[in-house]
Copies of this chain bind each other. A is one copy, B any other.
Amino acid sequence: MAEKVFITCAVTGSAKMPAHPNFPFRPDHVANEALAAADAGATIIHLHVRHPETGEPSQSLEDYREVVGLIRAKNDAVILNVTTGPGCTWMQSADDPAVCGPGTLMFTAERRLEHILDLKPDICTLDICTMQLWGGVAINLDPMITRMGHMIQDAGVLPEIECFEAGDFVFADDLMAKGALPKGAPFSFVLGTKYGLPATPEAMMYAKNQIPRGARWTGFGVSRHSFPMAAQAVLLGGNVRVGFEDTVYLRKGRQAKDNADLVRWGVDIIDRLGGDVASIGETRAMLGLRE
């Protein structure tokens, strides 16, 4: 176990919204959830944005600007970790397996990073997986990721390497070796997607053993695996992510009221396992981020 454990709260995500009365999608609601999550102990807020009226996932620069602005107006200390995930989804058409169908959303590197270059958050995610995901294909090939990696570094933003699969660790090594990713970048293990690394202790231990010695990492499981995998990450010396992006349940049959509720559940697990939740300053130090 690490001496200090930091908590990321992923407040809204970009999947289909679950049926929950308090699921945030309007900018002020997302910002308020983020602020409350920070008050509850999360030192990193992982952000996606949604259409202010429909809740559909958005990739609009204006929506990112608004949410970030609302958070920063009230809290300029909490660490912002903004997604670059949207724009790598390819759905196979029913007619021709080589051609994409409805639901496809594929962006260029420039389009995927537009809001990052504009807003320069502390951290942005970088999904490096190519895999079956959500019924389609997540496509993140070497040329695209290499380009994005350089652009992110040039912007002075810290990329968090999102690994969904065993091969992603080999890819990350190659990317680091050619400078497309910085050597000290933190990792995130996304466990339990269909079909990537499963949400099991074995898979998380395998993942932990693949990253560079000393690298910081967060391990989490999707859906019902959220809190078991949070505990597993703590036990293996990693950090924790919770939030409505992953689940709206504290445990089976018990819905969380809001993101802060999930954060408190995570804080409690860390406490009961004997760990200490990192402050914002401690989290920045762990990640090499400037204050």
Interface on A for B, CB 8 Å cutoff? 1, 90, 92, 96-100, 104, 106-108, 130-132, 135-137, 139-144, 164-171, 174, 193-198, 201-203, 205-206, 209, 213, 224, 227-228, 231-232, 235-236, 250-252, 265, 268-269, 271-274
Contacts of A235 in B (CB 8 A): 201, 228, 231-232, 235
Once bound together, how far apart are the Cα atoms of A143 and B97, in whole Å?
Answer: 11
The 4 A-B residue pairs with the shortest CB-CB distance, nearest first, are: A167-B195, A98-B106, A130-B132, A97-B106
> Are B100's CB and A107's CB within 8 A?
no
With beta carbons under 8 angstroms apart, the residue of B96, B132, B213, B227 that contacts A106 is B96
> Are B141's CB and A139's CB within 8 A?
no
| Binding site secondary structure of chain A | mixed
A146, chain B: closest CB distance, angstroms: 12
Identify 28 residue pairs between A and B in the complex whose beta-carbon atoms are under 8 Å apart, listed by A's number.
A90-B98, A92-B139, A97-B108, A97-B144, A98-B104, A130-B131, A130-B132, A130-B137, A132-B142, A132-B167, A137-B137, A165-B196, A166-B197, A166-B198, A166-B206, A167-B193, A168-B195, A170-B194, A171-B194, A174-B194, A174-B195, A203-B206, A227-B273, A227-B274, A228-B235, A231-B269, A268-B268, A269-B273
> Are B137's CB and A142's CB within 8 A?
no
Once bound together, how far apart are the Cα atoms of A254 and B99, in whole Å?
Answer: 44
Once bound together, how far apart are the Cα atoms of A140 and B136, in whole Å?
Answer: 10
> Are A201's CB and B195's CB within 8 A?
no
A144, chain B: closest CB distance, angstroms: 7
A250, chain B: closest CB distance, angstroms: 8
Once bound together, how far apart are the Cα atoms of A136 and B265, in whole Å?
Answer: 42
> Are A167's CB and B131's CB within 8 A?
yes
Once bound together, how far apart are the Cα atoms of A194 and B206, in whole Å?
Answer: 18
Looking across the interface, which residue of chain B has its beta carbon closest to that of A96? Answer: B106
A173, chain B: closest CB distance, angstroms: 9
Answer whether A135 and B130 are a contact pair too, CB < 8 Å, given A194-B171, A274-B228.
no
Once bound together, how far apart are the Cα atoms of A130 and B227, in whole Å?
Answer: 28
> Are B205's CB and A201's CB within 8 A?
yes
Once bound together, how far apart are the Cα atoms of A213 and B251, in whole Å?
Answer: 28
A26, chain B: closest CB distance, angstroms: 30
Answer whether A273 and B201 are a contact pair too, CB < 8 Å, given A170-B194, A171-B194.
no
Contacts of A106 in B (CB 8 A): 96-98
Q: Which of A92, A98, A130, A195 has the most CB of B within 10 A?
A: A195
